[in-house]
A and B are shown apart, each in its own frame.
Chain A
Amino acid sequence: QKEVEQDPGPLSVPEGAIVSLNCTYSNSAFQYFMWYRQYSRKGPELLMYTYSSGNKEDGRFTAQVDKSSKYISLFIRDSQPSDSATYLCASLMEYGNKLVFGAGTILRVKS
């Protein structure tokens, strides 16, 4: 079993929809939770990071972590075609430096 599980999709939504992307993890030692966006043929870029449980909002993006259920979510409001990319969740231990990634979810936003 992978430490971080993520449905690879693809997920296809119409422009303007609310998108929900999710991951689960198994290692209770994870304390940092990140979401990266990766466009085709590019490296991942950090979108959001959260420490421990809770919510974090940045513009149209909201990250949620529920440590009791080991569940990580990213919500995208008013999705745009430019949001079409692969979204990767990643986790990190308190004093660790090895990011553990999910497989990535391919998102397609249709105009």
Chain B
Amino acid sequence: GAGVSQSPSNKVTEKGKDVELRCDPISGHTALYWYRQSLGQGLEFLIYFQGNSAPDKSGLPSDRFSAERTGGSVSTLTIQRTQQEDSAVYLCASSLRGDRRGGDEQYFGPGTRLTVT
């Protein structure tokens, strides 16, 4: 079946502009995650959505970052007033239940490569 999809695959933007990154999770998955992968830094958790619960935003690095999940499916990560240090690959993942009660793996999309010039 279809996996997690993300768009755009690449985004180049000028410093100070706003960007929106989109994630389409696997159909039926209730949990959705955003991570950021910077060179040499591994993946860094940003935000987590589970069903209709309030999102866990504890990983967002600043108030310039926000995310929404509409209708329990598609999610958009917005970065306002982009800075050069925001350049990274932004990865989205989804999982069936959003907990670790055995077998609830996170499936990742291919990512959006963001370059801020």
Contact = CB atoms under 8 A, between A and B. Distances in A.
Asked if A and B bind, the verdict is: yes
Interface of A: 4, 6, 8, 31-32, 36, 41-46, 49, 51, 88, 90, 92, 94-104
8 contacts: A8-B40, A41-B110, A46-B105, A46-B106, A49-B105, A92-B100, A97-B50, A102-B42
A43 B4 contact: yes
B45 A100 contact: yes
Given A92-B100, A97-B100, A104 B108 contact: no
Contacts of B100: 31-32, 92, 94-97
Contacts of B41: 103
A98 B110 contact: no
A63 to B, nearest CB: 14
Interface string B1-17: 00010000000000000
A4 to B, nearest CB: 8
Contacts of A103: 40-42
Given A45-B108, A46-B106, A97 B98 contact: yes
B42 A99 contact: no
Nearest to A100: B45
B33 interface: yes
* Closest 9 A/B residue pairs (Cβ): A43-B108, A103-B42, A101-B43, A101-B42, A98-B45, A46-B105, A44-B108, A43-B110, A43-B109
A93 to B, nearest CB: 8
B82 to A, nearest CB: 22
A51 B101 CA distance: 11
Interface in B10-51: 31, 33, 35, 40-45, 48, 50
